[in-house]
Structure 1
């Protein structure tokens, strides 16, 4: 017990020293964020090849923009690609210009978006806790720093964020825009009561300078936006619209309106937000590209993007992506693991149903309530949508991190104030029974996770690109390492619960997840890349070396967009062997030059073409794929039975 108290005193002394030295506090915060960002988003970011099927579609469309200079219409493999708006392509093309056409450039926009969001989340938590200390007239640097450190770690170190921040698609950029916009909205909303205050200068003292005076002194015109956080909100909304379309304004709009209706401040806040001017800002930033792409492509773009990729995805099942009503419960449970087990306690702690209580609080004290509306609105919106994908709920992960971090903040306080919770606190302290139940659920969840990973080969399906997939997984030893990591974590959490040292439990979960990333996920990603994607990259290099001018490349039986990106040539996708044979014979009959085609096929599909050894020349075999050259002279008069 004496050692336990000594450790607490030491920690409190450290954070008190940090809080009293602004330069030191900034340095420590920056170092923490940099370490988090590097481990979560930067480490080995570009050392793994592009992952089929989606990532190369974005990478190649961006490369086409970079090469052709056409920054309006995205193209892939010679066809227009209207799935997503242009912002992600612009960001990747700019990255190509800065660091070259490579995997780092493809994923850099996603990593930067994730890192920027984590930094803004860290700042917002710090700001909120400082305001709470000012109201309570007590300084609690230990609670403030530990809570903000954990909030940033939870935002960065969860499976959903790790995956999409390291993937060169639009999902993380959308999340960065939407989540950052919501944080900016709350900073604007909470930083001042009405038009005559600013979150950058939160003093309520009558002697404090007005935002107008401060802005004029800084030479910044603020007649339209006295509160610059609201302006940032509108700019980020425009970014979200340019990243994924109408959902970029629908989601944050739904969250903000639902929150304001609940706290009874709709008219008041919309006036101070300069809503009409804000809409003009959004339109001015987002509409020009849409106008240009529609002007150039007409109804083809309107029907494809607004009809198929937006309306139909919400009202109908698209590409077979259907799922049961409870799908997103599982996605959040696993995508925010292992901290997701504390979400129920985090939500119960808020008592969000006590509307009169929340409406009576200062604006900044409604931060937890705002995070709840953020989480629930996105969860409900996509649960209603018919098409379901795990990435759709990525924008709620920052809200989940905030909710759990605020739950944990009840356990962090300085030694002198640990025994009391001020009356002005927006939520009562977490009950011991609620924390104890959540803790044991944590132990059970980690134990189940460890068992599942130890038996992963019995759970995973087969991969046609890797014939001996299960055997290779077993030989790698990764399932055993993963199982040990989470079993040790489960035992450690159980030990902390029994000794009532609850405030260390989240650290165990975070350490376990970091160990899992370093010793399991990273080696597994290299292993899968070597077995699944490397053969295609090697074949792409072989294609570049063997291809004759104007020689067609046919891909039979599968679609791997990475071949288009790495070979940088057009690929003709054909699904069936008979279709490929007929296509080659038609070209042979026309006497086209050159008098051959390159054929990249899965070995099983290639065998079904029933070609004789003299009918083709084998150029390369990698993994499950064959690259051959088929001369026309062998196909012109030959009858081939592939029934």
Structure 2
């Protein structure tokens, strides 16, 4: 079946006769607007409540800070070392936010929060155009309140931005090719999709182009029809993609000849093929992450093969979404590099499928699924309360206690609200109202979880070390990390760090760009420390006896979760002539 809209209106994707009544029949415009405004406020609330955790959040925040300070928008740097792991789009955006609002944890996270919120809006728009107003509204609610998508939109990583731009592109292509009313604007929608793919490539590399291409190929094989390629505005689209994405890659490859091999070969292919980066997980890892990350909406997935077969037998747009989910899930499941947020790109597609499925359920069936959610939330609450006492005697888990308590409280609230939503349906309230209430409550629960997680996040960040150092720093103070490297220390101290006796994976390839920023052994460090008039360091606590036996002049400033902070005693004042 080609991607052109079917001529028979009964086969059209937007079959309004089969759709539920529009959301406007149940929610007035001002109520919908007030709900959306409240959602926006709640979504961006708390971006500054947590410290930037190691290593990813702190790393990307610091690379953007150095770009902002130096004005070098071509070469990303981490602690002064060339850092070629990822393209520059997120660094550019975050640098602009630093310039507008200052260097803070919340401005470091603002780009991922914005791209996630944009994806929620575009997913809702696509759902409205493809399946009707109510389905579009519910798709946005479902996506914005799933656990993993919320987490991805509030953790500073590259995974959300590439997922966002790929998903936006897919939504544009879906509407352009499956919405009968979009035929006259197909070219412009396709070009918007190609531009979004270019931004995906600038976010994380070729993966932003590979997934959509594999999905399109899988869909055409399923449909046994290759004519879909004629409706993608392929020529102009590829030209637009090259114009947007290629200049930075060309410029940095000309400036740094080692970039091409490191980025395209080692980062793009080796990570997928080789278990070299301590990211190996079993094949079912992403299946488990997807099911857990969809909470609470996982209850609306089909629970049988027949249910999934029914999804694939209805409409071409749904089959395309299923291909999108399957391609990414299989790709990452066979990969040797697995981290939870990698799977984010499938969540907008799953949200559309779930919302369309909800709109087709009877009120009785929908109420039963909501009661299942209530039961799941209660079970999770009991698990959180059970884990909390079992960890109270383990000092390393001390800061888990408030997070688990907040989580248990939130899950209890969610269980009550899900049961209330089921009762609303029994009282003939519209499904859109029940889903909206449950989605808003779920968003509150995830914010409660992240707020309760603030003490743990601080323990996993460089902020405590920076707080100990800051009162003693002078402009000429040299700061060292001795087997205790933290990417966020440069961010919080607003200065570069000298790394001692270790070469972490993310700075090792760029050491030649700042050779004086690394000291390879303790003996050299001790000599440099003695010669420096003002110095501070965070050290691995296990090194303290060795440094004391070497009679290193030092004062212990304090202990932080990530290391011991020491400073060089002031040198005696020079006698006056």
Q: TM-score range by the shorter chain?
A: 0.7 to 0.9
Cα separation, partners in 2 of 1:172 and 1:482, compared to 1, 3 Å: same
2:291 corresponds, among 333, 337, 348, to 333
Deviation at 1:517, TM superposition (A): 2.4
Deviations 1:372-426 (A, max 9, x none): 222112111111211111011001111111111111101479xxxxxxxxxxxxx
Cα separation, partners in 2 of 1:390 and 1:100, compared to 1, 3 Å: same
Alignment correspondent of 2:12: none
- Residue 262 (structure 1) aligned with residue 222 (structure 2): yes
- Residue 379 (structure 1) aligned with residue 308 (structure 2): no
Alignment correspondent of 2:166: 178
Deviation at 1:245, TM superposition (A): 0.4
Matches of 2:493 and 2:402 in 1, distance apart?
33
Alignment correspondent of 1:585: 526
Deviation at 1:180, TM superposition (A): 0.3
- Mark the runs of 5 or more structure 1 residues left unpaired by the alignment: 1-10, 19-23, 131-143, 193-197, 203-210, 212-224, 359-364, 414-430, 635-643
Matches of 1:326 and 1:543 in 2, distance apart?
44
Alignment correspondent of 2:499: 573
Cα separation, partners in 2 of 1:484 and 1:292, compared to 1, 3 Å: same
Alignment correspondent of 1:163: 151
Deviations 1:549-577 (A, max 9, x none): 5543221232221111111222233358x
Matches of 1:537 and 1:153 in 2, distance apart?
34
- Residue 324 (structure 1) aligned with residue 253 (structure 2): no
CA contact (8 A) 2:272 2:335 kept: yes
Cα separation, partners in 2 of 1:624 and 1:232, compared to 1, 3 Å: closer
Alignment correspondent of 1:523: 451
Matches of 1:513 and 1:279 in 2, distance apart?
40
Alignment correspondent of 2:385: 454
CA contact (8 A) 2:382 2:408 kept: no
Q: CA RMSD in A?
A: 3.7
| More relative contact order, 1 or 2 (CA 8 Å, 6+ apart) | 2
Deviations 1:322-372 (A, max 9, x none): 111110121011111121232234985463586xx65xxxxxx43322222
Alignment correspondent of 1:513: 442
- Residue 124 (structure 1) aligned with residue 52 (structure 2): no
Question: What is the DSSP-based 3-state SS (H/G/I as helix, E as strand, rest coil) of the residue aligned with 1:324?
Answer: coil
Question: What is the DSSP-based 3-state SS (H/G/I as helix, E as strand, rest coil) of the residue aligned with 1:618?
Answer: strand
- Residue 282 (structure 1) aligned with residue 241 (structure 2): yes
Cα separation, partners in 2 of 1:341 and 1:13, compared to 1, 3 Å: closer
CA contact (8 A) 1:122 1:152 kept: yes
CA contact (8 A) 1:32 1:149 kept: no
2:212 corresponds, among 248, 252, 258, to 252
Alignment correspondent of 2:25: 16
Deviation at 1:315, TM superposition (A): 0.6
CA contact (8 A) 2:112 2:161 kept: yes
Cα separation, partners in 2 of 1:545 and 1:382, compared to 1, 3 Å: same
Alignment correspondent of 1:618: 556
- Which piece of structure 1 moves more, 560-569 or 338-347? 338-347
Matches of 1:313 and 1:74 in 2, distance apart?
20
Q: After TM superposition, list the pairs within 5 Å mapping 1:389-468 onto structure 2.
A: 389-411=339-361, 442=373, 445-457=376-388, 467=395
Cα separation, partners in 2 of 1:241 and 1:623, compared to 1, 3 Å: closer
- Residue 301 (structure 1) aligned with residue 259 (structure 2): yes
Cα separation, partners in 2 of 1:157 and 1:608, compared to 1, 3 Å: farther
Alignment correspondent of 2:250: 291
Matches of 1:306 and 1:560 in 2, distance apart?
27
Alignment correspondent of 1:96: 98
Deviations 1:34-72 (A, max 9, x none): 322322x30111233222211121111111111212111
CA contact (8 A) 2:380 2:411 kept: yes
> How many residues were matched structurally?
536
CA contact (8 A) 1:230 1:273 kept: yes
Cα separation, partners in 2 of 1:496 and 1:462, compared to 1, 3 Å: farther
Alignment correspondent of 1:38: 41
Alignment correspondent of 1:73: 75
Deviation at 1:501, TM superposition (A): 9.2
Deviation at 1:128, TM superposition (A): 2.1
Matches of 2:237 and 2:419 in 1, distance apart?
52
Matches of 2:256 and 2:98 in 1, distance apart?
26
Cα separation, partners in 2 of 1:347 and 1:306, compared to 1, 3 Å: farther
Question: What is the DSSP-based 3-state SS (H/G/I as helix, E as strand, rest coil) of the residue aligned with 1:374?
Answer: helix
Matches of 1:312 and 1:458 in 2, distance apart?
43
CA contact (8 A) 2:329 2:343 kept: yes
Deviations 1:252-297 (A, max 9, x none): 1111222233234422x32232212211111111111101111111
CA contact (8 A) 1:321 1:388 kept: yes
Alignment correspondent of 2:485: 559
Deviation at 1:532, TM superposition (A): 4.7
CA contact (8 A) 1:555 1:574 kept: yes
Deviation at 1:106, TM superposition (A): 1.0
CA contact (8 A) 2:296 2:373 kept: yes
| Normalised TM-score (structure 2) | 0.82
Deviation at 1:538, TM superposition (A): 5.0
Deviations 1:499-529 (A, max 9, x none): 99995875675355234224x3143133324
- Mark the runs of 5 or more structure 2 residues left unpaired by the alignment: 1-19, 503-518, 573-577
